[in-house]
């Protein structure tokens, strides 16, 4: 069953999911149930008398699923557990809700870029980030984020709005301390990339040195491991994983296709092997800071 969001002991990581996360949970579970029954999407369409495109669009998240459609699918998949049906029904209602369920007052100018990833950060139990281009959003200072905005998003948004949205996401993550584990694997070259001038970068590096779970991938390993652009792999409890790929053009693309997701998870594993330990990482960050 979905947790009671009004209960006083209700933990942050157990809050009712936002519509974006609810839609992901629904399509992930429906796809798994279909695969367990060894049914193809075409077979499902024939059994419930839908078009194949409707089944494909439901599982891809292109359209929502009504409670009646959910009931038809669960009957076909022979799901008889009432609790499981009730949970999926609640998720379907949340996913189709038209109420404003934004997790914070994100500036409208950057909502299209940052809101989706913020929704999943809100529900994630693990967030593993690989950074090949710049300091990850969740570790940026406001000044660094503002200076980087024109580079990653051009003139599409107001610089201060980008910085505000980045800091809002960080503040929410801080509220979830104890409910989410984070790791940050950062290419050494990122530490030396000029963003906002010497003083901005120096302040950013001091912030980075104080952050937990940061590991630096030394330049000597860069020739052995190249994965660009940057990406983050998130796990949502025991429901599964997904990823967000950060494009050089400022885009943030959701990745949930199994093969592509597996590639990113493998790349993350390799990056972890090449990353230095905590002491060496701290030294590399300090040395980069001394150059400012």
127 and 207, same domain (yes or no): yes
Q: Are 200 and 142 within 8 A, CB to CB?
A: no
Mean pLDDT of 60-76: 86
Residue 82: domain span:
12-95
pLDDT for res 220: 80
Asked, as a colleague might, if the bond just before 229 is cis with ω within 30 of 0, I would say yes
Q: What is the CATH number of the domain that holds 205?
A: 3.30.870
How many whole angstroms separate alpha carbon 288 and alpha carbon 201? 10
Question: What's the pLDDT score for residue 11?
Answer: 37
Residue that is last in its domain, among 95, 117, 151? 95
Predicted TM-score (pTM) of this structure:
0.83
pLDDT value for 13: 41
User: ∠ CA 153-155-159 to the nearest 5 degrees?
Assistant: 75
Residue 103 placed within a domain = no
Q: Is there a domain that residue 101 lies in?
A: no
Q: Which residue has the higher pLDDT, 99 or 87?
A: 87
Has residue 6 been placed in a domain?
no
What pLDDT does 9 receive? 33
The residue that leads in pLDDT, 93 or 286, is: 286
| Cα pseudo-dihedral 241, 244, 245, 251, rounded to 10 | 160
Instruction: Let me know if residue 60 belongs to a domain.
Output: yes
Residue 278 lies in a domain: yes
pLDDT digits (tens, 9 = 90+) for 232-279: 999 998 888 999 999 877 789 999 888 999 999 999 998 999 999 999
On average, the pLDDT of the chain sits at 85
In a domain? residue 100: no
Tokens 């409670």, located at residue: 67
User: In the predicted model, what is the mean pLDDT of residues 211-240?
Assistant: 82
Give me the pLDDT at residue 111, please. Answer: 82
Mind giving me the DSSP string for 1-53? ----TT-TT--GGGSPPPHHHHHHHHHHHHHHHHHHTT--HHHHHHHHT--HH
Name the residue among 160, 10, 164, 169 with its Cα closest to residue 103. 169
Q: What is the CATH number of the domain that holds 88?
A: 1.10.260.40
Instruction: Report residue 151's pLDDT band, with 50, 70 and 90 as the boundaries.
Output: confident
Residue 86 lies in a domain: yes
Strand, coil or helix: what is 263? helix
pLDDT band at 5 (very low <50, low <70, confident <90, very high): very low
Q: What is the pLDDT of residue 292?
A: 61
Look at residue 28 in the predicted model and tell me its pLDDT.
Answer: 87
Does residue 214 carry a pLDDT above 60?
Answer: yes
- Taking residue 126's Cβ as centre, other Cβ atoms within 10 Å add up to 14
Question: What confidence tier does 66 reach under pLDDT thresholds 50, 70, 90?
Answer: confident
Question: End of a domain among 42, 69, 95?
Answer: 95
In whole angstroms, what is the distance from residue 162 CA to residue 272 CA? 29
In this structure, are 281 and 185 located in the same domain? Answer: yes
Name residue, tokens 């369409």: 45
User: How confident is the model over 246-257, as pLDDT tens digits?
Assistant: 987 778 999 988
Q: Structural domain tally of the chain?
A: 2
Per-residue pLDDT band for 229 (boundaries 50, 70, 90) equals: confident
Q: Strands, DSSP E only, in 57-163? A: 126-131
pLDDT above 60: residue 60: yes
146 and 85 in a common domain: no
Q: Using one digit for the tens of pLDDT, what is the confidence trace for 190-213?
A: 999 999 889 999 999 999 999 989
Please tell me the distance from the alpha carbon of residue 35 to that of residue 232, in angstroms, as a whole number: 27
């Amino acid at each position: 069953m979905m947790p009671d969001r009004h209960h006083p002991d209700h933990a942050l990581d157990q809050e009712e999911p936002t519509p974006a996360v609810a839609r992901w949970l629904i399509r992930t579970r429906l796809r798994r149930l279909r695969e367990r029954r060894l049914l193809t999407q075409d077979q499902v369409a024939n059994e419930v008398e839908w078009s194949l495109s409707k089944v494909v669009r439901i599982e891809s998240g292109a359209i929502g699923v009504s409670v009646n459609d959910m009931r038809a699918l669960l009957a076909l998949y022979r799901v008889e557990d009432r609790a499981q049906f009730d949970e999926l029904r609640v998720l379907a209602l949340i996913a189709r809700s038209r109420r404003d369920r934004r997790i914070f007052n994100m500036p409208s100018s950057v909502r299209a870029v940052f809101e989706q990833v913020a929704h999943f950060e809100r529900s994630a139990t693990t967030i593993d980030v690989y950074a090949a281009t710049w300091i990850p959003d969740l570790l940026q200072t406001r000044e660094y984020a503002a200076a980087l905005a024109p580079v990653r998003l051009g003139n599409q948004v107001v610089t201060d709005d980008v910085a505000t949205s980045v800091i809002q996401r960080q503040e929410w993550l801080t509220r979830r301390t104890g409910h989410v584990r984070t790791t940050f694997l950062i290419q050494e070259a990122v530490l030396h990339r000029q963003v906002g001038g010497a003083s901005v970068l120096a302040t950013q590096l001091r912030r980075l040195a104080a952050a937990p779970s940061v590991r630096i991938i030394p330049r000597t390993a860069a020739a052995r491991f190249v994965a660009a652009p940057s990406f983050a792999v998130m796990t949502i409890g025991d429901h599964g994983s997904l990823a967000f790929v950060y494009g050089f053009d400022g885009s943030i693309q959701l990745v949930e296709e199994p093969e592509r997701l597996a590639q990113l998870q493998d790349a993350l594993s390799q990056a972890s092997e090449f990353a230095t330990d905590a002491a060496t990482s701290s030294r590399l960050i300090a040395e980069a800071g001394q150059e400012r």
